[in-house]
């Protein structure tokens, strides 16, 4: 059985200042996939039943490219890989990295604010979605006695840190393949109210599993998996 631990990480030759670079949270996802994907199963899902995978908020494209590398090496894994981002710069960056890794025109890129510009043909079609969202609370600061909020779309998840993710979750079932088991992988932070987030996810019909975590500076970054409750 092929061991994808031996598969190389994608070459990220292009990084733009305004595009989130591969970081600890990125590799938390990739390293987990290296452990749980084999010739027959993707984290327990039969690999030959997975038809479409989406890398939401693709950034440099590294996760989509790693999925493409798995696809190249595992004959039963024939899923079509999609990657989306709200940023023009990210789409340009990911497309350049796709060419660097010799996968030109293999990944379907979509510029969109979450699912806003996804075509109707992709509704109810994704078996797996990966999302490394902005997951930190907005930073507030004072300037001349006025409270202001400093934002950066790469990390700013909203006032509580998970507003962007919940906006995604409220839209996602329209694009999941609900006819079989599906997974959503996402990153969260210990700096947010995780109990409140989990309550919201349960209300929306999802069961959350913590898969791995890593302590980095002042927080734990957490890899989670959602499936149907």
Per-residue model confidence as pLDDT tens digits over 18-29: 999 999 999 999
Residue 69: partners with Cβ closer than 8 Å, 6 or more residues away? 7, 8, 10, 101
- Is 85 within a domain? yes
- Is 11 within a domain? no
The β-bridge relationship of strands 219-228 and 206-216 is antiparallel
Residue 82 binned pLDDT confidence (cut-offs 50, 70, 90): very high
- Is 155 within a domain? yes
Residue-wise pLDDT tens digits, 105-162: 999 999 999 999 999 999 999 999 999 998 667 655 344 454 334 445 555 556 766 8
Percent of the chain with pLDDT over 70: 87
Name the residue range of residue 198's domain. 23-228
Q: What is the mean pLDDT of the chain?
A: 90
Q: Is there a contact between 20 and 59 (Cβ–Cβ < 8 Å)?
A: yes
- Is 30 within a domain? yes
- Is 89 within a domain? yes
Number of domains composing the chain = 1
- Is 79 within a domain? yes
Report pTM. 0.91
CATH of the domain at 62: 3.40.50.150
Residue 191 binned pLDDT confidence (cut-offs 50, 70, 90): confident
CA angle, 84 then 216 then 101, to 5°: 35
CA 59 – CA 144 distance, rounded (Å): 35
- Is 182 within a domain? yes
Residue 201: partners with Cβ closer than 8 Å, 6 or more residues away? 169, 207, 208, 226
């Amino acid at each position: 059985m092929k061991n994808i631990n031996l598969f190389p990480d994608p070459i990220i030759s292009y990084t733009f200042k305004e595009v989130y670079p591969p970081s600890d949270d990125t590799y938390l996802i990739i390293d987990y996939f290296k452990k749980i994907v084999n010739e027959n199963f993707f984290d327990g899902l039969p690999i030959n039943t997975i038809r479409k995978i989406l890398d939401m908020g693709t950034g440099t494209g590294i996760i989509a490219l790693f999925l493409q590398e798995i696809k190249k090496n595992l004959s039963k894994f024939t899923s079509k890989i999609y990657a989306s981002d709200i940023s023009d710069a990210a789409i340009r960056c990911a497309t350049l990295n796709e060419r660097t890794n010799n996968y030109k025109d293999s990944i379907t890129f979509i510029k969109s604010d979450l699912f806003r510009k996804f075509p109707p043909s992709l509704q109810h079609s994704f078996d797996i979605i990966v999302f490394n969202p902005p997951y930190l609370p907005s930073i507030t600061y004072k300037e001349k006695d006025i409270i202001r909020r400093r934002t950066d779309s790469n990390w700013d998840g909203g006032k509580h840190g998970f507003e962007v993710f919940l906006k995604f979750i409220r839209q996602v079932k329209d694009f999941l393949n609900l006819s079989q088991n599906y997974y959503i992988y996402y990153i969260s932070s210990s700096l947010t109210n995780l109990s409140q987030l989990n309550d919201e996810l349960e209300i929306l019909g999802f069961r959350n599993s913590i898969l791995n975590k890593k302590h980095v500076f002042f927080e734990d970054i957490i890899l989670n998996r959602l499936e149907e409750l």
